[in-house]
Structure 1
């Protein structure tokens, strides 16, 4: 693709977005505008850091070609509106460390032998050891730029002999991972178990793994889950759906689900995010937004609640979920995608 074509496409997109943002409610329904912009934001959010910087430059160049005035100012807001000026990689690395600190604080004063109801057969010690192992495994992969799969048993863990010391060990490993990943080029290639074989995969993967297991720890210790940031939870749902086809024990049951043509829709009350899952072809496809075929079934809750539903931390019968359509489809999906 030529530089001229890239510039023209960026300028067209920037002008479209600015037009939507500045349209009166009588001209463009606000809900429709939100759906349009959310879908675009999701697409651009999947770009690597280098591409985000390049697109920001193209948007800014398009704006500066306009004469000074209100329209130029609107165009200059486009990059910021899509978060292209943010260093999302560094922010995600820091979020890993923050979430690990919260996890360590949750389990530090608890009996390591406390059962974890959402992970049958596990104690808090088992859960903490698992999460800390994920941190060290991911740090090893990013630091060595591994090109093939590395098993956790081949990564030095330096696990303390006393389970009471596990929380401090976990927090230290998370800090080490965050520092290693922050210093790495997010677009550098590295083996991954999912859809994105680059360094940028790991901060998101480790953050969401830690977040879900933090919920496990909080349920075991306090019986309730602490607040989940809605935007982070929505991103975690994206991550789960994007990587599910690469997980054999998820992809195989989905391939035999026998619900071709069925459509499952997830709606987040707090963020307004919508995920549409179309089953068929030996698996499923998904997209952000409510376009396309009418859903066979739908479920609505806050983004964090939907995340924990997908990971079976909440049951679908919990009153926090509102259901529409064929409830059996949701149950079939949850059974097939059990991790």
Structure 2
């Protein structure tokens, strides 16, 4: 996985790549992968998420103040130009990276799932930015490229965070995934990433191994990461076995 220092740097780097796509763009266009938002609102969402994490780290909050997260309150952001929002977004990413760099990665602040907040939020904000950078590129029809090392971390974060979160948050929706022999193998063909998701019990268990599973999906690590985060269909990837189980997993695990 990426080091803590690399994630702090990637928050800035991925934000820089995101804003490079916005020069001259119409921020009023709808974003297909987040259809309730325009580009204007998506950019504000990313920046507000950065600022929320920044606040938690700088104030060293013990518990996560969800009521102070404004990243979903986007109705008022209309008619802005890239020249207005780009400096604001870049400034917020730099501030968050700085805040994270100034604390002990294992300090128990803004704890999530029993894990130290600085490590969790450095990772979450890295991949929040990665995925929304893809949303921007897709909406504007411009190329999207991602370092396979970063994509590997994106994929593993999905199994570490999004997967258990879905089972905790939506037990009725995820219950149909559980059953004897129900296992899913994610296999990157261009990176050291093989993950087996064991769904045979009430909570998913993830193993980093090569095992026979009920269904396996193989492909480049960037494409696997985009698939699990519902940014691209599995068509075009190699799928072996119970494709319906894979489709159900990707449908029910939302984040």
Residue 19 of structure 2 corresponds to 104
Residue 58 of structure 1 corresponds to none
Would you say 1:208 and 2:124 are equivalent positions? no
Shift of the alpha carbon at 1:252? 4.8
Match of 1:271 among 185, 191, 197: 191
Residue 99 of structure 2 corresponds to 180
Alpha carbons 2:49, 2:70 under 8 Å: kept = no
Q: Secondary structure at the match of 1:163?
A: coil
Would you say 1:326 and 2:242 are equivalent positions? yes
Residue 52 of structure 2 corresponds to 137
Residue 338 of structure 1 corresponds to 254
Which structure is higher in helix share? 1
Shift of the alpha carbon at 1:251? 5.3
Q: Distance in 2 between matches of 1:195 and 1:107?
A: 38
TM-score normalised by L of structure 2 = 0.89
Alpha carbons 1:106, 1:218 under 8 Å: kept = yes
Structure 2: give runs of 5+ residues left out of the alignment. none
Q: Secondary structure at the match of 2:181?
A: coil
Would you say 1:312 and 2:227 are equivalent positions? no
Shift of the alpha carbon at 1:223? 5.1
Structure 1: give runs of 5+ residues left out of the alignment. 1-44, 46-82
**Which deviates further from its counterpart, 145-154 or 180-189?**
145-154
Q: Distance in 2 between matches of 1:133 and 1:272?
A: 33
Shift of the alpha carbon at 1:256? 3.8
Q: Secondary structure at the match of 1:324?
A: strand
| Structure ID, larger Rg | 1
| Corresponding pairs, count | 248
**Which deviates further from its counterpart, 294-303 or 104-113?**
104-113
Residue 125 of structure 1 corresponds to 40
CA RMSD in angstroms comes to 2.3
Residue 261 of structure 1 corresponds to 181
Q: Secondary structure at the match of 1:276?
A: strand
Q: Distance in 2 between matches of 1:259 and 1:109?
A: 51
Residue 163 of structure 1 corresponds to 80
Match of 2:208 among 270, 288, 291: 288
Q: Give the alignment of 1:221-236 within 5 angstroms.
A: 221-222=140-141, 224=143, 226-236=144-154
Would you say 1:219 and 2:126 are equivalent positions? no
With CA pairs under 8 Å and 6+ residues apart, which has the higher RCO, 1 or 2?
2
**Which deviates further from its counterpart, 193-202 or 235-244?**
193-202
